Amino acid sequence: MQDYISRAEKVMQRIEQLAAISEDAEGVTRTFGTDAFLRGRDLVQSWMEAAGLSTRTDSIGNLCARLSSRNPAAKTFVIASHIDTVVNAGKFDGPLGVLMGLDLLEQLAQQTTDLPFHLELIAFSDEEGVRFHSTYLGSKVVAGSFDPSLLDRADAQGITLAQALAKMGADARRLAQDAIPAEQWLGYFEAHIEQGPVLWERHIPVAVVTAIAGQQRVELQWRGMAGHAGTVPMDMRQDALCAAAEFVLAAEQFGQANKEKIVATVGKLQVSHAASNVIPGEVICSLDLRSADAARLASAYEELRQLAQSIASRRRVQLGWNAVQQTAPVACAPALSQQLSQAIAGAGHEVVELVSGAGHDAVPISAVAPVTMLFIRCYKGISHNPLENVELADLAAAIEVSERFLMELKINN
């Protein structure tokens, strides 16, 4: 087997090549279904085919490569992550798991021994949910939990998901058929950067993920009364931006006061018809609420909704509270995670267990299959930021651990 550093160098080169494909002149942005997304997917598909893997794209734009067992009745083990990104993203969030997986399948494709299971590598098409404000579109199709009503959801340009799929040449009538039937699943493995500071602080290359936090994402509309900045007295205003701004700080204070269990973020704030001499009449903002504790997530959601309503009432502003996305916390499969921990220890690393505050495609998959995730240390835990980075030695460690894990899986099945 080639040494892990040289394999890591090849994965790094591919991560860099993929990162050079972007919707924007500056930074990495490849949101679902855009031309840049399709060019990036084509590049990954060319690497898969060069490795001798059979490939296909499914009805939601996922890219799949397969190593089949000679036993047609064998179950399917999936290695995956996503190739869509947030706006002005880092290079590693998603592509690292896909391109590391491609390295693992390339090695296996060169071996003559048969696999006791079918091995599917999937590059999911929309984990971040940036374009249509609904995450996990790709993995939900594979898990069989895609909600067809989302086909009518429109992006900022008014293009529906159905229209975007048609433009990509994807056949939305096949969405239900493209699920892997629950009884066929053997399991799921995803390698992903930690996107947090623990491994960086502790100088440890990898960790096993025990659970993935639940999320509530909300869009809030604040409707006051637009007015002349020079003529409306301060005590007669219904200023939508001041109401939203008060909520932004209140959400932060709420998160600070409950930081053991939750995180609360307002990442988007849009002032409609903004002008310096107009009292804002309408503002839209987001709320992203997370917790690994389902009960605490639900109570925090209700507390923040009441807080927003009290701010709106006091300021004589109308509040629209639109729940955009809700995912419960999920636990990774203890048996698979135990095998992954053994692979980490076998490669000579301390075994660290972490809960993921970030969502991952493993979330919808966990409803139909046992899932396990490997975290890889990233620079200061920074992610969703062009400063996102991974050291070559850590990537090499992750490849070795993943290969050990897969070899164990072959022996045990």
Q: Where on the chain is the footprint of ligand HGY (CB under 6 A)?
A: 127-128, 135, 358-359
Q: Whole-number minimum distance, CB 362 to Mn ion, in Å? A: 10
Q: Which is nearer to ligand HGY, 135 or 341 (CB)?
A: 135
Query: In degrees, to the nearest 5, what angle opens at C-alpha 408 toward C-alphas 403 and 413?
Result: 125
Backbone phi, psi, residue 7, to 5°: -70, -40
Q: Which is nearer to Mn ion, 58 or 93 (CB)?
A: 93
> Rounded to whole angstroms, how far apart are CA atoms 104 and 4?
11
Q: Which is nearer to ligand HGY, 216 or 238 (CB)?
A: 216
Residues 67-96 that bind Mn ion (CB under 5 A): 93-94
Amino acid at 55: T
Q: Which is nearer to Mn ion, 194 or 403 (CB)?
A: 194
Q: Which is nearer to ligand HGY, 299 or 385 (CB)?
A: 385
Q: Whole-number minimum distance, CB 218 to ligand HGY, in Å? A: 14
CB atoms under 10 Å from CB of 260, counted, come to 8
Q: Whole-number minimum distance, CB 357 to Mn ion, in Å? A: 11
Q: Which is nearer to Mn ion, 14 or 118 (CB)?
A: 14
Q: Which is nearer to ligand HGY, 128 or 388 (CB)?
A: 128
**Element containing residue 242 per DSSP (H, E):** helix 240-257
- Nearest residue to 143 (alpha-carbon basis) of 304, 364, 348: 364
Residues 91-110 that bind Mn ion (CB under 5 A): 93-94
Residue 135 binding partner per list ligand HGY, Mn ion, none, with a CB distance cut-off of 5 to 8 Å that depends on partner kind: ligand HGY
Q: Whole-number minimum distance, CB 136 to ligand HGY, in Å? A: 8
Q: Which is nearer to ligand HGY, 45 or 215 (CB)?
A: 215
**Radius of gyration for the alpha carbons in the chain, expressed in angstroms and rounded:** 23
Q: Whole-number minimum distance, CB 128 to ligand HGY, in Å? A: 5
Residue 90 binding partner per list Mn ion, ligand HGY, none, with a CB distance cut-off of 5 to 8 Å that depends on partner kind: none
Q: Which is nearer to Mn ion, 87 or 151 (CB)?
A: 87
Q: Is 135 helix (H, G, I), strand (E, B) or coil?
A: coil
The DSSP symbol for 74 reads -
Q: Whole-number minimum distance, CB 203 to Mn ion, in Å? A: 23
Q: CA dist 245 to 109, 266, 284, 315, Å? A: 55, 10, 11, 12
Q: Is 237 helix (H, G, I), strand (E, B) or coil?
A: coil
Residue 361 binding partner per list ligand HGY, Mn ion, none, with a CB distance cut-off of 5 to 8 Å that depends on partner kind: none
Q: Whole-number minimum distance, CB 206 to ligand HGY, in Å? A: 19
> Rounded to whole angstroms, how far apart are CA atoms 184 and 161?
28
The DSSP symbol for 143 reads H
Residue 246 binding partner per list Mn ion, ligand HGY, none, with a CB distance cut-off of 5 to 8 Å that depends on partner kind: none
Residue 207 binding partner per list ligand HGY, Mn ion, none, with a CB distance cut-off of 5 to 8 Å that depends on partner kind: none
194 near Mn ion (CB under 5 A): no
Residue 224 binding partner per list Mn ion, ligand HGY, none, with a CB distance cut-off of 5 to 8 Å that depends on partner kind: none
Q: Whole-number minimum distance, CB 358 to ligand HGY, in Å? A: 4
Residues 6+ positions from 4 with CB-CB distance below 8 Å: 396, 397, 399, 400
Burial of 149-176, coded b for 16+ CB within 10 Å and e otherwise, reads: ebbebebeeeeebbbbbeebebebeebe
Q: Check if the beta carbon of residue 215 is closer than 8 Å to that of residue 288.
A: yes
Residue 347 binding partner per list Mn ion, ligand HGY, none, with a CB distance cut-off of 5 to 8 Å that depends on partner kind: none
> Rounded to whole angstroms, how far apart are CA atoms 56 and 41?
11
Q: CA dist 242 to 52, 135, 271, 284, Å? A: 58, 30, 11, 12
Q: Whole-number minimum distance, CB 362 to ligand HGY, in Å? A: 11
CA atoms lying within 13 Å on the CB side of residue 7: 23
Tokens linked to 71: 């036993």
* Footprint of Mn ion (CB under 5 A): 93-94
